[in-house]
Every structure is written in structure tokens, then in C-alpha cells.
Amino acid sequence: MKLTLLLPLTLLSLGAQTKPNLDLKAEEAAIRAAIPKLSVQKNYLKEHVYWNNGTAVRPVNNGEQETPDRGKLLASKGEVQRLEVAASGDMAYEFSKYAITREITDPGQSPHTIQYDLSLLRIWKKVGGKWMVAAHLGRPHN
């Protein structure tokens, strides 16, 4: 009985080990290099989903959705708090803090600027040798 349980657990742990010749630090550096370019490069999977007010939303315009409640992004400054690449080298997660500035244009009101801090969790997937955002969740601190 013990051998029956031990063998699958051993095989599972062997499958989760780092691949030979895989440099996880280099993979982490590649993701860190991609983060500042997210708004200008196509680093989002076609199936990418983000969560807004508890609802999964498919973004438009390569990840940036301009809506009356979110407005136009004017500035975004972030700091990675934690970034971990899976031992397999094909998935990662990132937790960051951001300071956001947006221009809001509500119907019937003049445009105004808002600023807020937000925490962000992104799930990364390596596809065709390139790190892509598979999903993310951002939540304002207030």
C-alpha cells in the first residue's frame, strides 16, 4: 500500500523539477524586461482575461480598454514586489504595486484627472519563446 502511494508522488515530484539547462533567473529577467513595454507591445495572449469589479472581461486594443469608468491611461508607474517563474520555465506570476493616472470623460462633465494606487497580479505564460500575459487582476487600494 505504501509503495502504491509513494510511486505516483515520486513521479509527480520528478516531473515538477527544473528542466536541465533552464535558467530561471534569465526567464525572470525576460519578464521584467517585458513589463514596461506592455502598453506598446503585443504581450497579451489572444485569450487574455482581466478581472474588473469581480467580472472577467476580455480587453480590446491589446489589453487597454478605454471606458467611461476607467478612462484613458495617462501614466502608470509600477514596482514589482514578487516575480516567480515555475520550475518548468513556461509559467510565472507577478505581484506589483502601481501608481495610475487616468483622464476620465464622463458624459455631461468636463474631463478630469484621477490618480490612485493599485495592486496587480499577472499570470504569465511562455508561448513560442515569448512571455505573454495570460490573465491579470488589478485592484485599487481605496
Spell out a b/e string for 80-89, using b for 16 or more CB atoms within 10 Å of the CB, else e.
eeebebbeeb
Domain assignment present for 3: no
Residues 75 and 85: their CA atoms lie apart, in Å, by 28
Q: What confidence score (pLDDT) does residue 59 get?
A: 56
Domain assignment present for 119: yes
Domain assignment present for 13: no
48-57's contacts with Cβ under 8 Å and 24+ in sequence apart are 48/132, 48/133, 48/134, 48/135, 48/136, 49/134, 49/135, 50/135, 50/136, 50/137, 50/138, 51/135, 51/136, 51/137, 51/138
Domain assignment present for 97: yes
- What is the tens place of the pLDDT at every residue in 10-58? 333 434 555 667 899 999 999 999 888 776 446 777 777 766 666 666 6
pTM: 0.70
Domain of residue 55 covers 19-140
For residue 49, the domain's CATH number is 3.10.450.50
Whether pLDDT at 4 is above 60:
no
Domain assignment present for 66: yes
Domain assignment present for 34: yes
8 Å CB contact between 104 and 11: no
Domain assignment present for 29: yes
Partnered with residue 10 across adjacent β-strands are: none
- What is the tens place of the pLDDT at every residue in 72-92? 878 888 999 999 999 999 999
Whether pLDDT at 69 is above 80:
no
Q: What percent of the chain has pLDDT over 70?
A: 68
Looking only at the bridges linking them, the beta strands covering 44-52 and 55-57 are: antiparallel
Domain assignment present for 49: yes
Query: What is the total count of domains within the chain?
Result: 1
